[in-house]
Amino acid sequence: MPSSDTIIKELAKNNISLQKVTIKLVESTNVLNKRIDKLVRIFEEASKHVGDVDTDKVRQLTMKLDSLLDQNRDLAKGLLLLEKYVREKEFKTL
């Protein structure tokens, strides 16, 4: 059985090792906190600029996109009707 002096020395070594690991953990946490603070600042800055968008421009773009969607629907319907017509003509010739 180890002597009490040896046990005390081992406990002291373990305590020092634990303190070193704790210091590294605290340092890592501090770095993480700084990075999170930077990220929060970026989001805060971005949220300020979101309100700067001109709503008239957004409305115009939305109207143009809606118009394009309507045109695409009409074209798709026309293509389907054309395909149906071609198939019927093909069927009649056979």
- Indicate whether 20 pLDDT > 70: yes
Range of the domain at 81: 53-94
Q: Is the pLDDT higher at 48 or at 35?
A: 35
Co-location of 7 and 46 in the same domain: yes
Co-location of 74 and 87 in the same domain: yes
The pLDDT assigned to 69 comes to 94
Q: What is the DSSP string of 30-87?
A: HHHHHHHHHHHHHHHHHHHHHTTS-HHHHHHHHHHHHHHHHHHHHHHHHHHHHHHHHH
d(CA 17, CA 93): 91
The pLDDT assigned to 94 comes to 61
Co-location of 33 and 64 in the same domain: no
Instruction: Write down the pTM of the prediction.
Output: 0.48
Question: Which residues lie below 8 Å from residue 10, measured CB to CB, with a gap of 6+?
Answer: 2
Domain count, the chain: 2
Co-location of 48 and 2 in the same domain: yes
- Indicate whether 57 pLDDT > 80: yes
Amino acid at 29: T
